[in-house]
Amino acid sequence: MNKLLIIDDDEDILYSARLLLKQHYSIVRIEKDPAQIPSILKDEHYDVILLDMNFSGDATTGTEGFNWLKKILALDPTAVVVLITAYGNIEMAVKAIKEGATDFVLKPWQNEKLLATVSSAMKLSESKQEIEDLRSKQKQLTNDLDSQFQEIIGASEGMKRVFATIQKVAKTDANVLILGENGTGKELVARAIHRQSHRNKQIFLSVDVGALSENLFESELFGYVKGAFTDAKEDRPGRFEIASGGTLFLDEIANLTPNLQVKLLAAIQNRQVTRLGSSVPKPIDIRLICATNLPLEELTSENRFRQDLLYRINTVEIKLPPLRERAEDIPLLSDHFLQMYCKKYNKPSKKISAQALSKLQNYHWPGNVRELQHTIERVVIMSETETLQLGDFYFSSHDSKEENLGINSFQLEQAEKMLIIKAVSKHGGNLTKAAKELGITRASLYRRLEKYGL
């Protein structure tokens, strides 16, 4: 249903244009009085507007048309306007385009010329509408995704410091480094910074760089052109290009090899990327937020992480406290997850007994908030009582901070899990030291933590 609006003070022009265009477009509305434009556009959107430039009897300057063009674009910034006049010249045509018109048609027109101009304007209008639809969908998808990350819950002193830092840094474009153990909510903080920034209407893109192999790193982050490698059947932008204008969150940044660190540093410094198979650099405009659960200062002193890259990514550093160091937040978090999962699984409201809550607060939570969330979800699913008791929660002999962390099972996987918990707890969540104690690499320890849900 293509809709056209024609505004001209000459009735002969109006009816002849309508007669011609009605053969090709569904709706063609004509209007003699430009003063009706605001009310017309308030009630209806038109794909293309044909606007005369002179409405007074002796006017030839086009000033009236330019004034109404400004008013139309103020009412609808996406409007596609074609100006028509009997007194046109090159200078006026150039000015019309600068002022926001799509095209310029001289009277008397040739029918073929008018049809071609309107057809081009209609295609432009359709493209603009598609872009608006995509933006609307992106906004809705972003809002839906963000709804999972809205709440950063905590009243402890450690979390108050985190909130204060978020508020200070969000309005800037400073690069941020978020440090914290697995499950402490690093992406939650990154999204909170983005939501409070001036880029909040643009994309937030999260990339787990630790999961990217060296072969995939460049193609995923920088993109590629058709024919760059065997399966490159079309041009594809990388994450840097896609996130341009918004925020790029790189998680597990410490897992990058030295070679990839160099490539990342170059992209950040130059603020441009070059797709694989191309020699043409593309400028990027991103707000960079990085995160890791590893001690970057230690890795830098051991020459395993570039110091110049560290300086680039941590203009501001936010350190998230592990859950065991903010036990006073556990009642708040538990209540939040209880409400969330009771609603999700259509369960009646539940509460946690004082004895069970005390036990939760004394557990060392190697998986931090993520482990607490999964624990509450499991209990909500399995429990049939209104008040959750100690017996509703699974507590083995290694669960409590004050209890012995010994191995009481001959099941190999259970024994390995308990050893990992013991090592991580012993070193206060420092995975580098825990891996060294266990005699495995950090990557191996990370895989085992994921395997056991820790």
Q: How far is CA 188 from CA 198, 322, 357, in A?
A: 18, 14, 25
The count of domains in the chain is: 3
Q: Which tokens go with 427?
A: 């070193």
CA–CA gap between residue 449 and residue 314 (Å, rounded)? 26
Query: Left, alpha or beta for 400 (phi > 0: left; psi -120 to 50: alpha)?
Result: beta
pLDDT tens for 244-281 read: 999 999 999 999 989 999 999 999 999 999 999 999 99
Position 138 in a domain: no
Position 142 in a domain: no
Determine whether 7 is exposed, middle or buried from the number of CB atoms within 10 Å of its CB (0-12, 13-18, 19+): buried
> In terms of Cα–Cα distance, which of 34, 25, 27 is closest to 84?
34
Position 379 in a domain: yes
| Same domain, yes or no: 342 and 289 | no
Position 114 in a domain: yes
Whether the per-residue pLDDT at 395 is higher than 70: the answer is no
| Same domain, yes or no: 220 and 264 | yes
3-state SS string for the chain: CCEEEEECCCHHHHHHHHHHHCCCCCEEEEECCHHHHHHHHHHCCCCEEEEECCCCCCCCCCHHHHHHHHHHHHHCCCCCEEEEECCCCHHHHHHHHHHCCCEEEECCCCHHHHHHHHHHHHHHHHHHHHHHHHHHHHHHHHHHHHHHHCCCCCCCHHHHHHHHHHHHHHCCCCCEEEECCCCCCHHHHHHHHHHCCCCCCCCEEEEEHHHCCHHHHHHHHHEECCCCCCCCCCCEECHHHHCCCCEEEEECHHHCCHHHHHHHHHHHHHCEEECECCCCEEECCCEEEEEECCCHHHHHHCCCCCHHHHHHHCCEEEECCCHHHCHHHHHHHHHHHHHHHHHHCCCCCCEECHHHHHHHHHECCCCHHHHHHHHHHHHHHHCCCCEECHHHCCCCCCCECCCCCCCCCCCHHHHHHHHHHHHHHHCCCCHHHHHHHHCCCHHHHHHHHHHCCC
Residues 6+ apart with CB under 8 A from 157: none
pLDDT, residue 253, reads: 94
Band (228; pLDDT cuts 50, 70, 90): confident
Q: Of 321, 337, 368, which marks where a domain is finished?
A: 321
Whether the per-residue pLDDT at 67 is higher than 60: the answer is yes
pLDDT, residue 85, reads: 81
| Same domain, yes or no: 302 and 160 | yes
CA–CA gap between residue 288 and residue 270 (Å, rounded)? 14
User: Which of 91-100, 140-149, 165-174, 431-440 has the largest mean confidence?
Assistant: 165-174
pLDDT tens for 282-331 read: 999 999 999 999 989 889 999 999 999 999 999 999 999 999 999 999 99
CA–CA gap between residue 262 and residue 241 (Å, rounded)? 19
Position 113 in a domain: yes
Position 143 in a domain: no
For the segment 92-121, the average pLDDT, to the nearest whole number, is: 88
For the segment 77-89, the average pLDDT, to the nearest whole number, is: 84
- Tell me the whole-structure pTM to 2 decimals: 0.63
CA–CA gap between residue 328 and residue 332 (Å, rounded)? 8
For the chain, what's the residue count? 454
Q: What is the CATH number of the domain that holds 54?
A: 3.40.50.2300
Position 329 in a domain: yes
Angle 431-438/412-426 helices, nearest 10 degrees?
Answer: 130
Among 210-214, 290-294, 388-392, 398-402, which stretch is predicted with the lowest mean pLDDT? 398-402
Query: Left, alpha or beta for 154 (phi > 0: left; psi -120 to 50: alpha)?
Result: left
| Same domain, yes or no: 198 and 246 | yes
| Same domain, yes or no: 65 and 208 | no
| Same domain, yes or no: 127 and 238 | no
Q: Of 86, 102, 132, which marks where a domain is finished?
A: 132
Q: What is the CATH number of the domain that holds 438?
A: 1.10.8.60
| Same domain, yes or no: 312 and 205 | yes
Long-range residue pairs from 16-25, CB within 8 A, at least 24 positions apart, any chain: 17/50, 17/114, 20/111, 20/114, 20/115, 21/114, 21/115, 21/118, 24/115, 24/118, 24/119, 25/118, 25/122
Band (432; pLDDT cuts 50, 70, 90): confident
Whether the per-residue pLDDT at 409 is higher than 80: the answer is no
Neighbouring-strand partners of residue 283: 272
pLDDT tens for 10-22 read: 888 899 999 999 9
| Same domain, yes or no: 112 and 235 | no
Band (61; pLDDT cuts 50, 70, 90): confident
For residues 255 and 444, which has the higher predicted lDDT (pLDDT)?
255
Q: Which tokens go with 269?
A: 């410094």
CA–CA gap between residue 369 and residue 356 (Å, rounded)? 17
For the segment 221-239, the average pLDDT, to the nearest whole number, is: 89
pLDDT, residue 214, reads: 81
Per-chain mean pLDDT for the chain: 87
> In terms of Cα–Cα distance, which of 198, 78, 74 is closest to 131?
78
10 Å Cβ neighbour count for 27?
14
| Same domain, yes or no: 180 and 317 | yes
Determine whether 5 is exposed, middle or buried from the number of CB atoms within 10 Å of its CB (0-12, 13-18, 19+): buried
Going 209 to 213 to 214 to 218, the CA torsion angle's sign is negative
Q: What is the CATH number of the domain that holds 212?
A: 3.40.50.300
- Single-letter amino acid, residue 23: Q
pLDDT tens for 167-225 read: 999 999 999 999 999 999 999 999 999 999 999 889 899 999 988 888 889 899 999 99
CA–CA gap between residue 150 and residue 137 (Å, rounded)? 19
CA–CA gap between residue 31 and residue 354 (Å, rounded)? 74
Position 145 in a domain: no
- Single-letter amino acid, residue 393: F
In this structure, are strands 351-352 and 223-224 parallel, antiparallel, or unpaired?
unpaired
| Same domain, yes or no: 346 and 306 | no
Q: Of 298, 321, 344, which marks where a domain is finished?
A: 321
Band (59; pLDDT cuts 50, 70, 90): low
pLDDT, residue 146, reads: 54
Neighbouring-strand partners of residue 223: 237
| Same domain, yes or no: 215 and 177 | yes
| Same domain, yes or no: 162 and 298 | yes
Residue ranges making up the domain that contains 267 = 150-321
